[in-house]
Amino acid sequence: MSKLGLAAVLVGSLALGGCMQATLSPVNDAAMTLRDKQLLAHTPYTEVKVPEQFQRHIVEYTRREQPGSILVDTDKRYLYYVLPGGKAIRYGVAVGEEAMAFSGVATVGRLAEWPDWVPTKDIQERLGPYPARVAGGPANPLGARGIYLYQGNKDTLYRIHGTNQPEYIGQAISSGCIRMTNADVIDLYQRVKPGAVVVVLPPGQSA
């Protein structure tokens, strides 16, 4: 998508609010592979029950994003995967702290299962030291799936990904990326396609 096209999507998205609070039904568990089940059977972290409002549901959706696109409401800590017919799947997420959060329009540039984590220089300086590369697995901060956000052909270095800290879903705690529970990111990964538009609303622009 051209810069002009992305800008048009962003302007339309920011200008059009709408009520997306009507919960229609919960969504069944994601279809996990045998590898997913094996890796998630022995996680090195404590499983927690995500609060009801941040559990996966099908909801009414009145904005103009096209089916197959993603909207992240930073203020409300929700990610919407847009479905046909005025509906969306709403997932609870953890978002970046305000000074580090990504906002704007991107596209899905790459998808990966159980991705390796390569800490950025900034993360190494602020939070490290970490190994130069952390192999994919249940202890990896990227969790079960990585959805890589690009602008044009450039990797923004921001991701939608799983987590090994599910207790933070619903908070602004990350270093800028959008975290989901592993079950939720597996579910989203099965739906989203390369090239899909991802709109991340900045703080103060809640849907």
Which pLDDT score, from 0 to 100, does residue 16 have? 40
**Percentage helix, strand, coil for the chain under 3-state DSSP, each rounded to 5:** 20, 30, 50
Which pLDDT score, from 0 to 100, does residue 53 have? 94
The C-alpha torsion from 27 through 55 and 115 to 155, rounded to 10°, is: 100
The set of catalytic residues is: 161, 177
Which pLDDT score, from 0 to 100, does residue 101 have? 72
Which pLDDT score, from 0 to 100, does residue 129 have? 75
At position 51, the amino acid (one-letter code) is: P
Which pLDDT score, from 0 to 100, does residue 13 have? 42
pLDDT of 3 over the 60 cut: no
Q: Give the model confidence (pLDDT) of 80-89 as tens digits.
A: 999 999 999 9
Q: Give the model confidence (pLDDT) of 129-169 as tens digits.
A: 777 788 899 989 999 999 999 999 999 989 999 999 999 99
Neighbours of 174 (CB within 10 A): 22
Q: Give the model confidence (pLDDT) of 6-59 as tens digits.
A: 444 443 444 344 445 566 665 666 689 999 999 999 898 888 899 999 999 999
Q: Are 87 and 52 in contact (CB under 8 A)?
A: no
Q: Is the peptide bond prior to 129 cis by the omega test (within 30 degrees of 0)?
A: yes
- Distance from first CA to last CA of the chain, Å, rounded? 23
Which pLDDT score, from 0 to 100, does residue 47 have? 83
Q: Give the model confidence (pLDDT) of 168-178 as tens digits.
A: 999 988 667 89
Neighbours of 149 (CB within 10 A): 23
User: What does the pLDDT average to over 116-134?
Assistant: 76
At position 130, the amino acid (one-letter code) is: Y
pLDDT of 99 over the 60 cut: no
Pick 3-201's CATH classification: 2.40.160.10, 2.40.10.480, 2.40.50.100, 2.40.440.10. Answer: 2.40.440.10
Q: Tell me the DSSP string of 80-131.
A: EEEETTTEEEEEE-BEE-TTT---EEEEEEEEEES--B---HHHHHHH----
Token output for 201: 């609303």
